[in-house]
């Protein structure tokens, strides 16, 4: 059975449309399963806090590394860990086919301004994107990814068809985000972000955004330079 685990602060959004049509029939017949993990259930305070203010200042909130890591760990190992993110590698049919041919996926649905960069690194999250646009959260993107994978599972489509400061602002991907705690699993927030020097923070973020864009989306970098 192909197993999907979705980590979200809105578990009631699932299975949603995945309970219908081919995906719903395949789930009922046991071809695949869907587990939802409520990220808030892994918070330790009475308010079930999952976010905090961004290190270095700025608008919005950032999802906390410690809370999100506990939720990821609860989902287990042995499957690709994906983070739905507008700065991620664009999804292709080839990547969908790879995922569909494996044991399943653990999908993290980001919210707010983003996710603390340390949990992305510490839990080896693969950032993936539906395209050059920004959604309110990763849930809708996760639904699309799951639908694309499930339709390729054997027995789902039958014999006729086989399973043969946001990102993109100014043409750049978004810089890494961090938030409290200051030290998490031996990983510290970059010193520049806690220096109080806003000019240095802005310069660091710009440099990181340019580096990420050159590395991950050279097509965007070329467009920006022409």
Q: Are residues 38 and 132 in the same domain?
A: yes
How many structural domains does the chain have?
Answer: 2
**Percent of the chain with pLDDT strictly greater than 70:** 96
| Segment 61-83, tens digit of pLDDT | 999 999 999 999 999 999 999 99
Q: How many Å apart are CA 151 and CA 76, to the nearest integer?
A: 24
CATH code of 103's domain: 3.40.1280.10
Tokens 């710009």 locate to 206
Shared-domain flag, residues 22 and 103: yes
What is the per-residue pLDDT for 156?
Answer: 97
Q: Which residue carries 């705690």 as its tokens?
A: 181
pLDDT at 164: 46
pLDDT at site 59: 93
What CATH number corresponds to the domain at position 176?
Answer: 1.10.1270.20
- Mean of the pLDDT values across residues 86-94? 92
Confidence of residue 110 (pLDDT cuts 50, 70, 90): very high
Q: Which of 121, 150, 179 is the C-terminal boundary of a domain? A: 150
Query: Given 116, 150, 184, which residue is the final one in a domain?
Result: 150
Model confidence at 185: pLDDT above 60: yes
The predicted-structure confidence for 19-61, as pLDDT tens digits, reads as follows 999 999 999 999 999 999 999 999 999 999 999 999 999 999 9
User: What was the pLDDT predicted at 161?
Assistant: 43
Same domain? For 98 and 177 the reply is no
pLDDT digits over 129-182, tens only? 999 999 999 999 999 999 999 999 999 997 544 444 667 768 899 999 999 999
The pTM of this model reads 0.85
Per the domain annotation, does 69 fall within a domain?
yes
* 159 vs 8: CA distance, rounded Å: 35
126's enclosing H/E stretch is strand 126-129
86/191 same-domain check = no
Q: Which of the listed residues 150, 183, 213 is the one where a domain comes to its end?
A: 150
Residues 98 and 192 in one domain: no
**Cα(224)–Cα(20) distance, rounded to whole angstroms?**
42
Count Cβ neighbours within 10 Å for each residue of 37-64 and write b for 16 or more, e otherwise.
Answer: bbbeebbeeeeeebbbebbbeeeebbbb
Same domain, 129 and 174: no
pLDDT of residue 168: 75
Domain that holds residue 196: 169-225
pLDDT value of residue 169: 66
Burial of 215 (0-12, 13-18, 19+ CB in 10 A): exposed
């Amino acid at each position: 059975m192909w197993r999907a685990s979705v980590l979200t602060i809105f578990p009631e959004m699932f299975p949603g449309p995945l309970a219908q049509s081919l995906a719903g029939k395949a789930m009922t017949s046991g071809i695949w399963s869907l587990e939802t993990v409520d990220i808030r259930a892994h918070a330790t305070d009475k308010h079930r806090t999952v976010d905090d203010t961004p290190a270095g200042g700025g608008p919005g909130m950032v999802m906390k590394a410690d809370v999100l890591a506990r939720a990821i760990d609860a989902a287990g190992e042995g499957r690709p860990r994906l983070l739905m993110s507008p700065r991620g590698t664009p999804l292709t049919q080839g990547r969908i086919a790879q995922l569909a041919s494996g044991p399943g996926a653990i999908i993290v649905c980001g919210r707010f301004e983003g996710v603390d960069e340390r949990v992305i690194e510490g839990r080896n999250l693969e950032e993936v994107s539906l395209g050059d646009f920004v959604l309110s959260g990763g849930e809708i993107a996760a639904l699309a990814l799951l639908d694309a994978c499930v339709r390729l599972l054997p027995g789902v489509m039958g014999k006729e068809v086989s399973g043969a400061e946001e990102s993109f602002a100014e043409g750049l991907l978004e810089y890494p985000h961090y938030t409290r705690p200051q030290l998490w699993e031996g990983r510290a927030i970059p010193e520049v972000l806690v220096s109080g020097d806003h000019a240095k923070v802005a310069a660091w973020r710009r440099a990181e955004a340019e580096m990420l864009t050159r590395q991950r989306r050279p097509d965007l970098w070329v467009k920006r330079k022409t």
